[in-house]
Structure formats: structure tokens, C-alpha cells
Amino acid sequence: MTSRSRNALGSAVYILALVALVLFTALFRFLQLKDGFPNDHFLYIAGGQQILNGDWPTRDFLDQGLPLMFFASALAQRILGPPLFAEAVLMCGAYALAAVLTAAAVRELTGSRVLALLAAIVEVAIVTRTYGYPKVLVYAAGFYLLQRYVTRPTMGRLFALSAAIVVAFLFRHDHGIYLGIGGVLAVWLADVPGLGPGGARRAATLVALSALLTAPYLIYVQVFGGVWAYLQTGLEFRAGEITRQPHVWPPLFGDQPHHAALLYEYWAIPIVAALLLLCYRHRDNVRTIMARVTPLIVVALLVNWTFIRDPLITRLHDAIAPAVTLGSWLVASAWRSRHPWLWRPVAVLLVALVARSVMGVGSTIEQLDRAGLLVTWRRIPEFAAEVSTALHEQHAERQLPSRAAHALWPFYAYVDRCTTRDHRLLVGGFAPEVPVFTQRAFAGGQLGFVQGYYEGEHYQRLVLQRLSREVVPFVVLPGEAAINQFGAGFRLLSNYVRVRYVPLVTLGDDPSTAVQVLFDGELPVAARDPETGWPCEVANEWTFYAKGKPR
């Protein structure tokens, strides 16, 4: 077999492997949803639903700096219909695409197909939480386009890199900032044929392109609230997150050894890569190596510092993309070193340690088993059909993510019978799933009210201003803690609710988690719901008693 034939065969096998990886990733993530989305994910599903209801982020509801998360969910719901099914397709597709882009980035960086596939598999194996797909996707795309630019710097590739940075920024602003820093370093250091080393002009061009692409969104923000106020909103959210979820440095042999090991491996990878760059400083191609690797080191350090916080059980997964990309370069460097007898065993050990930590943190085998992928493959279509059916239902029991969601089961159908899509819900505490399962917009431009976040008087007055323009029959307070926090942290709002709303029902057996539902006593009652006896805002065929008259 000639070398050309071997290359063609190798390329064909690699493409088939990527296709298999895409299909497996999408199927794996879809089958995991038999137990539903975590309630944090409903923040974005509810935001997408809000957009379809006519409200836009910043203009009509609070946005902490995640506009594209909401618009991506809205677009999926518009195209695919049922919100949970639409979000499932969006999430599964995003993770499958991220795996391919990670493989492409590693292939461009190292030239190795084996390492490319291995990096993508490790990324999938950590099983990042459903709502974390941008934390993998945007970095995989950014790293790939960054490596492509260094390979052959052209204006087209520079524009593609700037577009990726802007998309990352719109998914979450710190993603765009980190990738922007990495992109500027890459463009600055890259060698351009005929023009010598890269420099300030090309870096400035990248910044200018990114600013130009971001300008329409910034103008929108300025018109509907002001950039400075928007920045303050994001910084306040960030401060609340850091206060509530600080950095932790666990012992290696403590209660979570895999989590501790992976945390320190995340930090070791960019530090070792930086030391290796120092060793390469006398090489002829050091400029190209620096252009490829320095941005990855900087982005990995930024991601580690900002993403990895308590609790590690949910946060540690988020930093996987920089780690597998940069770690692959370390393995490739060790494999091609001048002393392979020494460094190849070290590379194998590195891969084994990280893979073991990843599988421990991601509970990979357990997750595969729960998804049904460890049983006979003949049953996979049956499992997929079951998940699809549950995701298409308005509120399938296995899709309910919290005790509050379960307690509110009779409330969902009641809202459907007795209100219209113009009616809204005010949700105290943190229960973003409630607007989704009731298929009603959240009121006041704020999805939840959690102590430590947006308690300032100006935020509360803005909510009250919006409430004055909305029809809000119900206030939902999910649990004793939410009731106490709402009263203590949001006094203006709680006073408004206390004056205007009356108790309707308390749902749930446990007093600490029982959900209080309040009803607007100033609204006219059109009828009484025949199933619950609760007041109806609209009279229809469901609200008539046997006598044929609404009470």
C-alpha cells in the first residue's frame, strides 16, 4: 500500500470515527434526559419562552450577561415546539458539535488524529451539566479557529476568529473576554508569510473587528437601560456568585479524591506547558509554538480561576475544554521528545491519571448505565422513544426537577384551565421551572428572587414598575426558605405582595418545602374551577358545574 493510500485510509477511518463520536454523544446526552433537566437549566428555557412571549433581555427582563443563551433556547422552541424537547435537541447538538470542534482543534495543534479523538472522548466522558454546553462549545470553536489562523494567517480566518469571540461574548461575556485575550496573543505572535512576525496592527485589527461585530448589541443595551447599568448588573451577579461559591483547595485524600485530583491536574497542565515553552525558547520555530500554545495557557488559567469554585461536584466539569486541548499538546510533545524512552511513559501516565479523574468526576460508567447504553443496543430505540415522549409532554412526572415542581403538579393544569397566555406568574425564591411547566411568562422582568442577588431598592422598584403593566394572578413561593428570604431581602416587593395578594393554597406535605400560592385579590373572578374550586380568570367549558352556570 502506498503512502497516499495509507493517508486516504487513515483520513476515512478518522472521519468515520468522528461521525460515530457525534452520534454517540448526541444519543448519550439525549438518553440522560429520562430524569429531566436540572432546575438550573430552566433559567434559560424560561428565558427563551419569555422571548417568544414578546419580552427581550435587558429591555424587558433581567439579563446577567447571557443573551445568546436565551435566544438560542427561543430559536429552538420556535422551530421544534415543546420547550423541553427543543432544549434537549439544542443541548445534544451543541455537545456533539463541541466534541468535533475539540478534535479539530487538537488535530490542528498536534497533527495527531489519535490525540484528537482521545481529547474529544475525555471531554464527553466528564458529562458536563446540561446547561454548561457553551462552556465547552465556544472554547472548542475558539481554539480551533485560533489554531487555524496560526497555521495560515489570512484576513478571512481573522474575521472567523473575531466572530467566534463575539458569539462567545454573547453566550456569556466572560467567555468572549477570555477568548479575546487568547486571540489577541495568537494574532500578535503569529508569523505571517512575507510580513514577518505578527504584531500590534493585526492584534488591533482583531480587536476592531470584534468591537464592530459587538456594536449592535451594545447599542441595543445603551438604548434600553444603558451600558453602565448593564455592566453593574453583571458585576453584581458575579459578586454574588463568588460570595456564595468561593474557591476551594481540597486535600488529595479527602472525601472526593477524584475531584481533588482533577482540580490540581487542571492547574498543573498550563503550568507545565508554560515551563515547557521556556525549554523551547531556543528552537527555530519557537514563535509559531508560542502563538499556538501561549493563548491556551492564558485561557486555561483564566478559566480555572473563574470556573472552578465550590461545589466542585458541579463546577469542575466546566473547565474541561482548555485542559484537554492543552494536555494533548503536552502528550504530543512528550511523544516526540529526544528521549522517548523517558517521556513516552510519562505521557501515558498523564493520560491515564487525567482519564481516571475525569471518569471519577463525571461518574461516566454510572451515567452510561443510567442512560441505558450498557444494555443490549436493541433496546436503545425504545429508550429514546420514551425520553422523547416525556420531553414532549407539558409536565411529565419524571421531568420535574425539584420538590416544589412535584408539589405544584395540580397547579399546572389549573393554570392552563383558568388563565390565558397573557397572565403571568411572580415566582419568589428560585424555581425557574414553574413558568416553563405552566407555560406562562414570569412577571416583573425577574425570574427569581434569591437573597444576595439584586436586592437593591432600584431593582425592586423596576420590578414594581413592570408589575403595574402586567396581569399577575399568582405569586408562587417555593418553600419556607424562599418565603423567609423574600420577606427579608425584598421588602418593597414583599410589602406589595402582602397588601395585594391573599393565600390561595399551600401544596406539599413537608412544611419546609411546601409551596405557597397567593392570588391577586383585586382581580375579578370569572368562574370557579370545577376540579379545585379555585378562582378562574376566564370562563370556558372546563369551568362550568353540572348546572351549566359558573359560580
Cis peptide preceding 524, ω within 30 of 0: no
Paired strand residues for 424: 441
Contact partners, residue 243, CB within 8 Å, separation at least 6: 452
- Tell me the pLDDT of the chain (551 aa) as tens digits: 677 777 888 889 999 999 999 999 999 999 999 888 998 999 999 999 999 999 999 999 999 899 999 999 999 999 998 999 999 999 999 999 999 999 999 999 999 999 999 999 999 999 999 999 999 999 999 999 999 999 999 999 999 999 999 999 999 999 999 999 999 999 999 876 655 555 788 999 999 999 999 999 999 999 998 888 888 888 777 766 666 677 788 888 878 899 999 999 999 999 999 999 999 888 878 888 999 999 999 999 999 999 998 888 888 999 999 999 999 999 999 998 888 888 899 899 989 999 999 999 999 999 999 888 887 778 888 999 999 999 998 888 888 888 888 899 999 999 999 999 999 999 988 899 999 999 999 999 999 898 888 888 999 999 999 999 999 999 999 988 888 888 888 999 999 999 999 999 999 888 778 899 999 988 888 889 988 999 998 765 444 443 343 33
Locus of grid cell 469571540: 165
Q: What is the pLDDT of residue 542?
A: 44
Q: What is the pLDDT of residue 81?
A: 87
Contact partners, residue 160, CB within 8 Å, separation at least 6: 145, 148, 149
- Integer Cα distance of 120 and 143 in angstroms: 13
Locus of grid cell 399546572: 412
Q: What is the pLDDT of residue 399?
A: 87
Is the Cβ–Cβ distance between 526 and 536 less than 8 Å?
Answer: yes
Write the burial class of residue 38 (CB in 10 Å: 0-12 exposed, 13-18 middle, 19+ buried).
Answer: middle
CA torsion 43-45-50-51 (nearest 10°) is: 120
Burial 355-379 (b: 16+ CB within 10 A, else e): eebbbbbbbbeebbeebbbeeeeee
Q: What is the pLDDT of residue 62?
A: 92
Q: What is the pLDDT of residue 543?
A: 42
451 alpha-carbon distance from chain centroid: 22
Q: What is the pLDDT of residue 379?
A: 86
Q: What is the pLDDT of residue 130?
A: 94
Is the Cβ–Cβ distance between 190 and 150 less than 8 Å?
Answer: yes
Annotated domain spans of the chain: 32-369, 402-543
What phi and psi values does residue 270 have, to the nearest 5 degrees? Answer: -70, -30
Contact partners, residue 437, CB within 8 Å, separation at least 6: 394, 395, 400, 405, 408, 412
Q: What is the pLDDT of residue 402?
A: 86
Helix (H, G, I), strand (E, B) or coil at 253: coil
